[in-house]
Amino acid sequence: MPCTCDGYPEPDNTHNGELAEMMCKTMWAHEQKGLMTCFSEEQLKWWEEHKKRDKARILQDLTQYERHVLGL
């Protein structure tokens, strides 16, 4: 998953940096395998917010043509 961790600094620093990048990769892999029950409620909340931020950044990076082609 593209990640705000790589080159997209954020003021609160909870969604970028080395630790956030490791957490993103770990949670993404666990989600793909359906193994999310091992995470705390706080971690799951962070993950949902992180995915929203990634999606928003990706949409912002797309050109108008790319959005049209993808039906967004």
Domain extents in the chain? 18-70
Contact between 38 and 30 under an 8 Å Cβ cutoff? The reply is yes
Amino acid identity, residue 30?
A: H
Lowest mean pLDDT among 7-16, 28-37, 58-67: 7-16
30 confidence band (pLDDT: 50, 70, 90) = very high
Query: For the whole model, what pTM was predicted?
Result: 0.70
CA distance 6 to 71: 26
What percentage of the chain exceeds 90 in pLDDT?
42
pLDDT > 70? residue 47: yes
Contact between 24 and 14 under an 8 Å Cβ cutoff? The reply is no
